[in-house]
Amino acid sequence: MFDTLSDKLQATLGGLGRGGRLDEEAISKAMREIRLALLEADVNLEVARDFTNAVKERSLGQDVLKSLTPGQQVVKIVHEELTALMGTGDSRLAFGRPPTVILLAGLQGSGKTTAAAKLGLMLRRDGKRPALVACDLQRPAAVDQLEQLGKQIQLPVFALDRSDPVAAARLGLDVARKDGLDVVVLDTAGRLHVDEDLMAELERVAAETKPTNVLLVLDAMTGQEAVNVATAFDEAVSLDGVVLTKIDGDARGGAALSVKEVVGKPILFVGTGEKLEDFEPFHPDRMASRILGMGDVLTLIEKAEESFDADVAQRAQEQLAKGQFTLEDFLEQMRQVRKMGPIGNIMKMLPGMPKELRNQELDEGELGRVEAIICSMTPAERRDPSLINGSRRLRIAHGSGTTTTQVNALLKQFKQVQSMMRQMGGGKGKKGKRPKLPIGDIPGLSGR
């Protein structure tokens, strides 16, 4: 979502560091470019102006101008101001006497029903016992959709009244209380914030259930209109936070950078993809680092801890220590990495990743072909690729739906990776240097 804004900010701030010393004229020029980049990203005009004024005022301080690295100091200031713009610290859900009620509200098509399921799954993984309550009686099949999503993630879905959303919410809450569940997520109907009747209905649902958390589900593509939407819903039901959906799309990011500053409500969660697992807490400082190309190591570590099997990781470490690395190990590690999400998203979290590689369109299908080729080999062939002769290559190609040329390419590239792993297992490579990973030659990371 922030790719275009990120590129422009990095280009502007990168230029500040090339000239050595900074003066007021250089800083003013950079701030004009940053303001323009923010406005092109659909950030609220007042927010963009206040942001650049704050950065400029701090950048003109004597500590920055007399610094040996003034460009880096300005980058640090921009990072801090971006973090403050999106909300300092980590905002979290409030939990009270069970069951804690979380009410989701928002416009039609913002992704509330899917967000309800994603939130329920995340809460269950955190050790809670959540239930989903269907209160969206306006959209055809909305209740059926929530029930299907509930089955996928094995969460109870209560749809006990299909004529009155207030009754549906009350009955669902009663059943959850009797069943000993500790969190209830209410999926309400999407409504235009100018529709007085539907907003009044939402107020009645909130008055009946007394939610501990009222979250506004916002589509990241809403842009500056997100500010008006958030203001209207806040006046009606007093929001506690925002869930930003579809940030994996090509929206310009203005909603994320404007809502907190104008409405004063923090972004609590973001939907990062179509899968129900693609949902995570929003960390302003980490998002600021991503925008400025600094990576996001903490989120990467958390994703790895969630996705990697401890036994698999331990086995891989032992194999690496011995300098052994087979196609079976390669396949196992590739599957673990793919659990973390799209490779492109992972690479953007790595600090220092070159812009060309970070923005490269990676072919996820190529990884599937690599897996098919390895799975078409016998266990003996995976452990010892030297056994693979001409007839075996033809058999593997037929079994994986690929060509012998693709099989040969994989074996050649794996040989390079295997050699590197052996050097790493033994310490340093030739002439005391660490071997470099041939990223450009690995299928799926080459862009070919």
Per-residue pLDDT tens digits for 374-398: 999 999 998 888 899 989 999 999 9
Q: What is the pLDDT of residue 377?
A: 92
Nearest residue to 186 (alpha-carbon basis) of 168, 201, 199, 204: 168
Q: What is the pLDDT of residue 439?
A: 37
Q: Which residue has the higher pLDDT, 263 or 145?
A: 145
Residue pLDDT, tens place only, 239-257: 888 898 887 766 666 766 7
Chain CA centroid to CA 220, Å: 13
Nearest residue to 268 (alpha-carbon basis) of 276, 258, 280: 280
Strand ranges of the sheet holding 100-106, from the earlier edge strand across to the other edge: 157-158, 130-135, 183-188, 100-106, 213-219, 241-245, 267-271, 279-281
**Helix, strand, or coil here: 443?**
coil
- Alpha-carbon distance of 448 to 369, in angstroms, equals 13
CA distances from 236 to 197, 200, 379 (A): 12, 8, 63
CATH of 100-291, one of 3.40.50.510, 3.40.1160.10, 3.40.50.1100, 3.40.50.300: 3.40.50.300
Give CATH superfamily name and number for 301-441.
Signal recognition particle, SRP54 subunit, M-domain (1.10.260.30)
Q: What is the pLDDT of residue 440?
A: 39
Q: Which residue has the higher pLDDT, 438 or 311?
A: 311
- Give the residue-averaged pLDDT of 130-159: 91
Q: What is the pLDDT of residue 9?
A: 80
Domain 3-86 indexed as CATH 1.20.120.140:
yes
Q: What is the pLDDT of residue 24?
A: 81
**Mean pLDDT for the chain overall:** 79
Diameter over CA atoms, the chain: 76
Nearest residue to 113 (alpha-carbon basis) of 85, 141, 74: 141
Query: Which structure tokens are listed for 32?
Result: 């004009």
Query: Which of 62-66, 251-255, 409-413 is predicted most confidently?
Result: 409-413
Tell me the whole-structure pTM to 2 decimals: 0.66
Chain CA centroid to CA 248, Å: 7
Query: Which of 94-98, 256-260, 302-306 is predicted most confidently?
Result: 94-98
* 301-441 shares the fold of 3-86: no
Spell out the domain ranges in the chain.
3-86, 100-291, 301-441
Q: What is the pLDDT of residue 441?
A: 41
Residue pLDDT, tens place only, 330-357: 888 777 777 766 666 666 665 555 555 4
Q: What is the pLDDT of residue 435?
A: 40
